[in-house]
Amino acid sequence: MVRSSAAVWRSLLANEGLSAADLSAVKDAHSIAIARFAMKHSPFYAEFYRDHGFSLNDLEDPSAFYELPLLTKEMIREHADEIRSDESTERNSVTSMSSGSTGEPLKVLRDLRVHARAYEWRLQRWWGIEPWANTATIDRHYRTASARRKQALLWWPSTRIQLDTFDISDEALEAFASAWKRTRPEFLIGYVGGVVALARLARVKGIEFESPRAIGVTAGPLPESQRAEIEDFFGAPAFDHYRSSEANWMAGECDRQSGLHTFDDIKNVEIVRDGVHLMDESEGEVVITDFENKVFPLVRYQLGDLSSRILAPCACGRPHSRISPVRGRTSDFLVLPSGKVILGGLTGLYAGANEYVRQFQLHQQADYSIIVRCLLTEHPDAVEVAEKRLAALRANVDGEVPVSLEIVDEIRPTRGKFRFIMSDAPKTTATTQR
């Protein structure tokens, strides 16, 4: 596994030597190839493209790609079984859940033959970090003890330490700080909100961290003020990058910190407005095509984030195109009156429960109490399931504020956009990102 990830990584490195025009040609060839694959091997795409007047023959022409209809989250939600390709087996596919920006759970299949680890290494290299560097992560993966042991073996001799964003308690923070002292990570990677929250809490508590060489942050806009705060606290440069649970690594900053280079050799990252692929620098929606997922093809998939292209070549000389920092994603954390941060995991509150819960929204009130609004299905057990899942959130809140369920008929967008987590609470040691 590790060795083939290394092979993938070497091929990514080789692509960095291409000219911008050659890399763009590689991108166009892969784009039309995966569209053709999808039409041949996925019942959904066969019908979808045929209904829009495309034949397999039409997909011999690379320029046809940019005319293909867009795939929406709603389509994935409704047609997941038909999107699955005939290449998908139990061995090569695994379900990945994400909440989607509206808080409705979204199920996609990941292709286990894809070496996403190599994509992380690519970014690390751009940031001056070797693949085997000791790493600290701030994320929301719940690893079992046996999974942790397996991971430790896989990454020997490097060490990975982890802070779980679902609950940055005093104990967890102290344990993380002492693991940091012991392993001296060269690289810190995590969610923007988590890294900022860690920096603020550690500052308040007088906990210091020996500087890593670089910090990678993702899953939220990185305002310059927060970048400065992170860099100041940790004494290392902080780099933004862009990934999603549906399509792993998509783009990242280079050492120039001026826009995100898209991974044009493994993804087509487009900016689209009103269905039209934009060639200029105006703002639009991010639409991605994953060249490598052959069990659940994602072709011209609307992620729901906003960005714009940067047309000028980057001073670093890399051939990869650039986009401006991605906006419009929901932040995923709440702060309690004590300063405790409940972070990550919130968007997954009803993951796997779409039989019962159609949509939900977390709304923290001015008095810090939390209302979870649920739009339920007709299922007779829907209320019970909605309540049960709330227990996990209540356990994390640990009685500090009330958490209540509100069953609603509709969840309305705010300022034209669904907001998945909202907070009217006064800002304390950490602030929400909106």
Q: Which is nearer to Zn ion, 38 or 326 (CB)?
A: 326
Q: Which is nearer to Zn ion, 113 or 256 (CB)?
A: 256
Residues 177-216 that bind Zn ion (CB under 5 A): none
Q: Which is nearer to Zn ion, 317 or 380 (CB)?
A: 317
Q: Which is nearer to Zn ion, 163 or 254 (CB)?
A: 254
Q: Which is nearer to Zn ion, 6 or 310 (CB)?
A: 310
| Candidates 67-75, 94-102, 194-202, 253-261; binding stretch for Zn ion (CB under 5 A) | 253-261
- Residues paired with 273 in a beta bridge: 276
Sign of the Cα torsion 18, 281, 263, 67 reads negative
Query: Which residues make Cβ contacts (< 8 Å) with residue 128, sequence separation at least 6?
Result: 213, 214, 255
CB 28 → Zn ion: shortest distance, Å?
21
Q: Which is nearer to Zn ion, 23 or 421 (CB)?
A: 23
In whole angstroms, what is the distance from residue 284 CA to residue 84 CA?
Answer: 28
Q: Are 324 and 252 in contact (CB under 8 A)?
A: no
Q: Which is nearer to Zn ion, 80 or 316 (CB)?
A: 316
CB 127 → Zn ion: shortest distance, Å?
11
251 makes contact with Zn ion (CB under 5 A): no
CB 409 → Zn ion: shortest distance, Å?
49
| Candidates 72-80, 248-256, 289-297, 415-423; binding stretch for Zn ion (CB under 5 A) | 248-256
Q: Which is nearer to Zn ion, 12 or 254 (CB)?
A: 254
Q: Are 111 and 296 in contact (CB under 8 A)?
A: yes
Residue whose structure tokens are 């923070």? 173
Number of residues that bind Zn ion (CB under 5 A): 5
Residues 267-326 that bind Zn ion (CB under 5 A): 314, 316, 318
In whole angstroms, what is the distance from residue 168 CA to residue 344 CA?
Answer: 10
Q: Are 259 and 324 in contact (CB under 8 A)?
A: yes
From candidates 39, 215, 250, 254, binder to Zn ion by CB under 5 A: 254
Q: Are 394 and 402 in contact (CB under 8 A)?
A: no
CB 260 → Zn ion: shortest distance, Å?
9
CB 319 → Zn ion: shortest distance, Å?
10
CB 36 → Zn ion: shortest distance, Å?
32
CB 317 → Zn ion: shortest distance, Å?
7
CB 413 → Zn ion: shortest distance, Å?
36
What does the binding site for Zn ion look like in residue numbers (CB under 5 A)? Answer: 254, 256, 314, 316, 318
